[in-house]
Amino acid sequence: MVEITEHVKCFIMDVTENEKNTLDTLRALNGGTYELVDDALMNASENSAKVLEFSAKIDELNDAVATLTTEKTDIETQSTEYAAQLETANNTITSLNEEVSTLRNY
């Protein structure tokens, strides 16, 4: 036996087959109901916007990482070059100091 305990306003609509399929899919995705579909769609829209925003930020940060990696490589190369120049200069200084010492002994 069915007992009606409340009155609910209902509507009958004419829809095309494609629209019905879309509505069926929407209902299935929303837990078998049409209630609060607009809230779910609004949240999905907001989340989609956030995903786009975060994707753009990720791209921006990836570009920054690539730039910093290139700069780091350049700095490491310069550091190696400077270390070689420093070693050469120190060797030259040592050699000249030895020559000065030898010349003083004459």
Q: Where are the domains of the chain?
A: 17-105
Nearest to 52 by CA among 60, 42, 64: 60
> pLDDT tens for residues 51-77?
999 999 999 999 999 999 999 999 999
User: Would you state the pLDDT for residue 56?
Assistant: 97
Percentage of the chain with pLDDT > 70?
Answer: 98
φ, ψ of residue 7 to 5 degrees: the values are -100, 130
User: Alpha-carbon distance 30 to 46, whole Å?
Assistant: 17
Phi/psi of residue 28, nearest 5 degrees: -65, -40
Average pLDDT over residues 99-105: 91
Rounded to an integer, the average pLDDT of 88-105 is: 94
* Residue 34 pLDDT: 82
Per-residue confidence band for 2, with pLDDT thresholds at 50, 70 and 90: low
> pLDDT category, 93, cuts 50, 70, 90?
very high
pLDDT band at 35 (very low <50, low <70, confident <90, very high): confident
